Amino acid sequence: MKKTILLGSLISASLLTYSVQAKAEDAAVDTSGIYVGASYGYLRVEGDDDFDEDKSAYQIFTGYGFNKYIAVEGSFIDFGEYGNDLANADTDGYTLGLKLGLPVTDNISLYVRGGQLWYETNYSVVGVNDSTSDEGLFAGIGASYHLNEDWTIKVDYTVYDSDLDVSSASDDIDNADFSTDLKFAAVGVEYRF
């Protein structure tokens, strides 16, 4: 898994390096309009009480670019299952946020993004099973390489903040609130219509 992410990162870095060294095109890539895409990568779950794990996750997204500087983006992200024998969870969610870009060359853009996360978690704590829905925030940074008017390759790093309150599941569980950060480093592709 880590080898796949490392290979994807090296390929992306090679493309970025080639673009910087290559002769600039006459016109910059138009990044306005509707786009769809998917990303896959490494998820680091960091939480309270040894609720940590490294794993993979995926995301599908769609957005609308108003111009090369600002876009609105929504996504579905599957964080998968994480935890340990005593406490584990399976989380997925939806996001809606802003993406602010800064073109570096005609084909390379840096961006930041942030917004709202709505998620649902099915969990098991000491044999007590339940589910909860809640919301949190997310923020991330990334870089895009525009292959042409239609296709873009991107790498990004996003932190999703979630709190899991399972005190309603059982009154016998001490410290039944878990604060969890989901940190997602991913390689993705976009297609612009």
pLDDT of residue 173: 46
Quote the domain boundaries for residue 135. 2-23+36-192
Total-model pTM: 0.73
| Percentage of residues in the chain having pLDDT higher than 70 | 73
The answer to whether position 133 is within a domain reads: yes
Total number of domains in the chain: 1
Domain-embedded: residue 30: no
Comparison of pLDDT for 182 and 58, the residue scoring more = 58
Q: Does residue 31 lie in a domain region?
A: no
Amino acid 21: pLDDT: 44
98: in domain = yes
28 occurs within a structural domain: no
The predicted-structure confidence for 140-182, as pLDDT tens digits, reads as follows: 999 999 999 899 999 999 999 876 544 444 444 444 455 677 8
Tell me which of 87 and 36 has the higher pLDDT: 36
143 contact partners, CB below 8 Å, separation of at least 6: 12, 16, 108, 109, 110, 111, 154, 155, 156
